[in-house]
Structure 1
Amino acid sequence: MAVIRKVEISHFRSIKSFEWYPSPGLNCLIGSGDAGKSTVLDAIDLCLGARRSVQITDADFYQLDVETPISITLTLGALSDTLKNFEAYGDYLRGYQYLLGTIEDEPGHGLETVLSLNLEIAGDLEPRWRLRSDRADAKGAERNLNWKDRVELAPTRLGATSDHNLAWRRGSVLNRLSEEKPDASLALSQAARDARKSFGNDADAQLGDALTSVKKAADELGIPIGEKAQALLDMHSVSVTGGSIALHDERGVPLRGLGLGSTRLLIAGLQREVAAMSSILLVDEVENGLEPHRIIRLLGSLGAKDETPPQQVFATTHSPIVLRELSVAQLRIMRRSDDKHQARPVPTSAQGTLRRSPEAFLAPSVLICEGASEVGFVRGFELFCVGQGQPSIFARGVALVDGGGGHPDRLYERGTEFAKLGYRTAVFRDADITPTAQVEATFHQLGGGTFTWDAGQSLEAAIFNNVGDATLLAMLDYAIIEHGQEMVAAHIQSASGNQETVENLRALLHSPQHTITPAQRAVLVTASTNKSNPWFKSVGRMEHVASRILALNFADVREDFRNRVNALIGWAQA
């Protein structure tokens, strides 16, 4: 089964220059909405698809520059004997060094024999396919792949519309399931219904192996088609060709009437059956039309969990579910640096982060929060700001990652992974534990930012020590609503060594003649962070504190605290 060893794209849509050595298995491209993921799939499809023309407009040229041609080159390895035939392709056979990722112009010892197929489209919009090698260029020789070879190499694509693969049409995956070819001539000579019935009887004999494979794939993927699949005449077809013959269920209902998700699942299963002959599959938005459990089933069909890849897959996704199911080796992050696009690998060290926070890999900016309280704090101010007409941090492409607490070095190590991959990254942490200086410095050298409080302060300490009495009273009353006065009172008594009561503190906070002391604020900090049942250590509760108490009383906080919060939210809104 042929696989793509190298992809080269220049001056195509948003891509000025792109080089990539994909893996022979599953290659899932992730990145922001305009990163060029689908452009890469389109380029592979245009270059390798079995077509003689393409639909191209001036808008497909990089920055509308029609003076510079579009160029797409795919270097193909794992070639069949036919493609390595010296008489047919001798001048174009080249050598690939896997370990170095280099291509030599001639095959040689220790090199894999490969072919490089190029598609060039100039300002006249006419496509030009040709095999490339330096020695052929020096001779002035030029040729394309044989059409039969083009058909065998053509990738299958799962896009928004893929139901053409459920009929015996040119390029359909069904035509690759077996050597059998349908003959509808006798059936089509009769009236429509008689022809449909007549050919249905003949089809079992003509397409038995293919229909068996369809039934097997449908059963494995949980797609109900009844006791058997049938090949009947498609009454929507007007051509007397193989394309008139489509898959139907046992009741004679066309399978192209399946939902989008079921159609994509079935075609993926059929493609796996023919992987030995046509091994390249293109999947636009893996999750499209599928529920979470069926996404996982589709990934299994694509070979995501196989030790030996059954086929080469190029996919895109915006789904955290897909990311959580894949290994870092199967992911590539599309990034643009200057005038070049890159498909950056994800380091093995990021696998744990991928499992815990897959959504972060889908956003351009990542804010790593020490724990759930910090996540809720940011979300609370986000809610308030949006209500005031300010931009949403989520619309700006920010993902909030719950760092899970612990030593701050863990936050910086995780942040360093994201920063190296090109993400705009910051850490929002407590200041009660000091991070290792070198670990923090490494993160900052990569452009990462830190948001924290005065030395020694946790989030709760920063809040209780920087807000006015009215705000403290509102927080204390909210804690009582959430946990009950008995529990809050017990926490205060324990934290103060039985020197304070909740009634006394509430009375002080109510009194315009008195003010709460720093020692009493410290009691509230200790009580609110009680290890057995802390008052606000959850996303929802701290979100409420931030949006319904702190933000509404922001004029009642100290200037340094206000400046730190504004800097944090300003970074997220940028």
Structure 2
Amino acid sequence: MRIRRVDIENFRGIKELTWIIAKDQNFVCLIGPGDSTKTTILDAMYLALSERYSLSLSDADFHNANVDQPISIRVTIDELSRDILKHGVLGMELSGIKDSGELTHDPADGDSTCVVIQLKIEADLEPIWTVYREGDSEPFTQVGVGARKQLGAFKVDERIDGHLRWTRTSALGRMTETVHGAAGTLAAATRASRDAVAGSISADLQALTDKVQARLNTLGGGNFLALKPGLDTSLSSSAGVLALYEERVPLTSYGLGTRRLAGIATQQLAFAHKTILMIDEVEYGLEPHRLVYLLHHLRQSGEVAQVFVTTHSPVAVEQLSASDLCVVRSDLNGTVSAHDFTERPNRAQAVLRSNPSAFLSRKVIFGEGKTEFGLLLGLVDLWNRERLTASEAPAASFGVAVADGGGGSNAPRRARLMNEAGYDAVVLMDNDDRSVDSEVAKAGQEGVTFRRWDTGHDTERELVATLTATQLTAILAIGVENRVNEQTVLQDLANRDESGAELSALDVDDWIANADFSLVSARALIASAAKEYSWFKNPYQGRRLAEWIIENRDALAGSTLIVRIDELHDDIYGAESAPTPPDPDW
């Protein structure tokens, strides 16, 4: 069974959401900035499909706490099991869903047969579960706990330590009493543990513990060799005095990552018949290598039909395929969208490989190539320092990420892709290549913002366009930092110089005085050599270039270089935060 569609109204931060999940999508990772309602979506899905008789709800669970507008959650499931198709209630209320996600009252040719579970909550806070059918009017047929148990969904409970003890409500307790059918085993083992009789643990209980050990090791939780039940002395009550131990150390004393994986392992075993798994903040408590392994296991194991996770971790994002990701966005009115990359996964994959953290932002500022990328990194670093000194918010507070555009036509294409997914996208680009103009125009029409230099200029040429001889000499000094020594830079210049002049020093005033150079030709030569030999094409050199530009901002005032940089500042922080011209002594 798989979830194909989710419709939510008036639940917490969601005023409305319709999410169509791609057919045959087995693994879905919800991403997006904070407060985009990723967790709310997961909670809504679980509540609609849960086996609970009642729910702990309050007025705060209604959108804007407005109880006059009922909460409505609908979850559509297809690829139904035989038990559901033959169920006395669910089997009589089947609908159809098209590949596009459109629901039909009855399955038609080409449709998938599905069942739509609706959870509705009015002001009295009483949950009502029904089977929704497109085109029908309420009241719909109600579904009880027994029917919902057939739906096969469970969400990992983050109250970790409780699931590492045997209690009536824990995963271990559930397995002991229901999976093994050993009524009384838990009570007997608890009494025995009170007497601290290690040999009294039953064979059934040890066999179950061995299963937990195997699953925990499979999930990358560690190399446990002797997991066993033992006396838990951390609780004063009689409930839960039996817990999992490795030798003499209780699992509740292990680190957060190990405990969390142990909690996931026990819950998976307790709900082994479930086919839809949900995990909120999958990275929580896990080191990168454990997170990577867990994600790989969840995607490849085939133990469940469908997995939903949320994450804020770039480590998690970079380990996944672009088609696994779903970007969640919420506007100020609570209208939420969910966008996946299943239609153009290859283009999204290119952005994912080079800039995984960009997918976790609200706004992406692309540098066309490595020079522009490094320059942007340096500018944002400097601006953030200025803002923190003035007690103003840094770029991170606005959800801004700086990304490498990949050069040429890749940059507008990547920005267009991110714009379609709901990100604000801005591109800093050269303006010397006419072959990219059509891509720029398409992306611009769809809402991408472009900041381009003067016509015919790349970044190097724009940088030197208004510089004096003394300033050009300073740029040569930055080039030396990247090219190791002066002789290498002089050779770079000689290789690009068509005049035949023999330059013996990196002093532009000297060139003009003694080498028959004009200021214009000196600018052109330096720009050409800087571009050809990649003087600024790495993040460090880009940062150095940004430092020099900001330090000399007053001398460069009015140039296209500074105009575009000011526009980028506004793009990142907002026009009201535009930098003021520096004092002459700054």
Tell me how far 1:74 sits from its aligned partner. 2.3
Which residue is 2:340 aligned to? Answer: 345
Tell me how far 1:39 sits from its aligned partner. 0.5
Report the AA paired with residue 335 of structure 2: K
Report the AA paired with residue 21 of structure 1: I
**Do the aligned residues in 1 keep the contact of 2:6 with 2:19 (CA within 8 Å)?**
yes
Instruction: Kindly provide the CA deviation profile for residues 371-416 of structure 1, in whole angstroms up to 9, marking residues without a partner as x.
Output: 22112212222233233336533332222221233xx222222222
Which residue is 2:305 aligned to? Answer: 311
From 252, 277, 280, give the equivalent of 2:276.
Answer: 280
Deviates more, 1:81-90 or 1:26-35: 81-90
Tell me how far 1:447 sits from its aligned partner. 0.9
1:250 and 2:247 matched: yes
Instruction: Kindly provide the CA deviation profile for residues 438-479 of structure 1, in whole angstroms up to 9, marking residues without a partner as x.
Output: 322211110112112122222111111223344323322333
From 319, 323, 326, give the equivalent of 1:325.
Answer: 319
From 363, 381, 391, give the equivalent of 1:383.
Answer: 381
SS in 2 for 1:529: helix
Q: Percent of aligned pairs with the same residue?
A: 28
In 2, the alpha carbon distance for the partners of 1:107 and 1:239 equals 54
Tell me how far 1:274 sits from its aligned partner. 6.5
**Do the aligned residues in 2 keep the contact of 1:221 with 1:269 (CA within 8 Å)?**
yes
Report the AA paired with residue 368 of structure 2: E
1:264 and 2:260 matched: yes
Report the AA paired with residue 566 of structure 2: N
SS in 2 for 1:442: helix
Report the AA paired with residue 156 of structure 2: R
Tell me how far 1:484 sits from its aligned partner. 1.6
Tell me how far 1:113 sits from its aligned partner. 5.0
Tell me how far 1:221 sits from its aligned partner. 3.4
In 2, the alpha carbon distance for the partners of 1:542 and 1:286 equals 35
Compared with structure 1, are the counterparts of its residues 517 and 364 closer, same or farther at alpha carbon in structure 2 (3 Å cutoff)? same
Which residue is 1:358 aligned to? Answer: 356
Report the AA paired with residue 490 of structure 1: Q
Tell me how far 1:105 sits from its aligned partner. 3.9
**Do the aligned residues in 2 keep the contact of 1:50 with 1:151 (CA within 8 Å)?**
no
Which residue is 2:208 aligned to? Answer: 210
Deviates more, 1:185-194 or 1:345-354: 185-194
Tell me how far 1:332 sits from its aligned partner. 1.0
Tell me how far 1:208 sits from its aligned partner. 4.5
TM, length-normalised to structure 1 = 0.86
**Do the aligned residues in 2 keep the contact of 1:473 with 1:510 (CA within 8 Å)?**
no
Report the AA paired with residue 429 of structure 1: M
Which residue is 1:425 aligned to? Answer: 425
Which residue is 2:19 aligned to? Answer: 20
Tell me how far 1:275 sits from its aligned partner. 6.8
Instruction: Kindly provide the CA deviation profile for residues 179-202 of structure 1, in whole angstroms up to 9, marking residues without a partner as x.
Output: 34461333444672425x254x22
1:559 and 2:561 matched: no
Q: Cα RMSD (Å) of the superposition?
A: 3.3
Compared with structure 1, are the counterparts of its residues 290 and 379 closer, same or farther at alpha carbon in structure 2 (3 Å cutoff)? same
**Do the aligned residues in 2 keep the contact of 1:9 with 1:16 (CA within 8 Å)?**
yes
SS in 1 for 2:336: strand
Which residue is 1:58 aligned to? Answer: 59
Instruction: Kindly provide the CA deviation profile for residues 335-355 of structure 1, in whole angstroms up to 9, marking residues without a partner as x.
Output: 246763221111323122222
Instruction: Kindly provide the CA deviation profile for residues 251-270 of structure 1, in whole angstroms up to 9, marking residues without a partner as x.
Output: 3x322333222233334445
Which residue is 1:476 aligned to? Answer: 476
Which residue is 2:70 aligned to? Answer: 69
In 1, the alpha carbon distance for the partners of 2:149 and 2:95 equals 21
In 2, the alpha carbon distance for the partners of 1:275 and 1:190 equals 27
Which residue is 1:465 aligned to? Answer: 465
Which residue is 1:11 aligned to? Answer: 10
Which residue is 1:492 aligned to? Answer: 493
Report the AA paired with residue 567 of structure 2: A
Which residue is 2:526 aligned to? Answer: 524
SS in 1 for 2:149: helix
Instruction: Kindly provide the CA deviation profile for residues 70-93 of structure 1, in whole angstroms up to 9, marking residues without a partner as x.
Output: 1222233444444444445455x3
**Do the aligned residues in 1 keep the contact of 2:44 with 2:73 (CA within 8 Å)?**
yes
In 1, the alpha carbon distance for the partners of 2:559 and 2:509 equals 28
Report the AA paired with residue 566 of structure 1: D
Tell me how far 1:235 sits from its aligned partner. 3.7
**Do the aligned residues in 2 keep the contact of 1:268 with 1:298 (CA within 8 Å)?**
no
Tell me how far 1:295 sits from its aligned partner. 1.1
TM, length-normalised to structure 2 = 0.84
**Do the aligned residues in 2 keep the contact of 1:94 with 1:106 (CA within 8 Å)?**
yes
In 2, the alpha carbon distance for the partners of 1:509 and 1:288 equals 60
In 2, the alpha carbon distance for the partners of 1:89 and 1:477 equals 76
Count of residues in correspondence between the two structures: 555
**Do the aligned residues in 2 keep the contact of 1:331 with 1:345 (CA within 8 Å)?**
yes
SS in 1 for 2:30: strand
1:402 and 2:400 matched: no
In 1, the alpha carbon distance for the partners of 2:169 and 2:512 equals 78
SS in 2 for 1:559: coil
Compared with structure 1, are the counterparts of its residues 558 and 187 closer, same or farther at alpha carbon in structure 2 (3 Å cutoff)? closer
Report the AA paired with residue 517 of structure 1: L
- Stretches of structure 1 lacking an aligned partner (at least 5 in a row): none
**Do the aligned residues in 2 keep the contact of 1:469 with 1:516 (CA within 8 Å)?**
no
In 2, the alpha carbon distance for the partners of 1:135 and 1:391 equals 50
In 1, the alpha carbon distance for the partners of 2:193 and 2:415 equals 69
Tell me how far 1:551 sits from its aligned partner. 0.6
Compared with structure 1, are the counterparts of its residues 217 and 559 closer, same or farther at alpha carbon in structure 2 (3 Å cutoff)? same
1:166 and 2:164 matched: yes
In 2, the alpha carbon distance for the partners of 1:477 and 1:377 equals 17
Tell me how far 1:564 sits from its aligned partner. 2.0
- Stretches of structure 2 lacking an aligned partner (at least 5 in a row): 575-586
1:291 and 2:287 matched: yes
Compared with structure 1, are the counterparts of its residues 258 and 112 closer, same or farther at alpha carbon in structure 2 (3 Å cutoff)? farther
Tell me how far 1:279 sits from its aligned partner. 2.0
Compared with structure 1, are the counterparts of its residues 396 and 271 closer, same or farther at alpha carbon in structure 2 (3 Å cutoff)? same
**Do the aligned residues in 2 keep the contact of 1:272 with 1:301 (CA within 8 Å)?**
no
Deviates more, 1:273-282 or 1:563-572: 273-282
SS in 2 for 1:526: helix
**Do the aligned residues in 1 keep the contact of 2:89 with 2:143 (CA within 8 Å)?**
no
In 1, the alpha carbon distance for the partners of 2:28 and 2:553 equals 48
**Do the aligned residues in 2 keep the contact of 1:468 with 1:556 (CA within 8 Å)?**
no
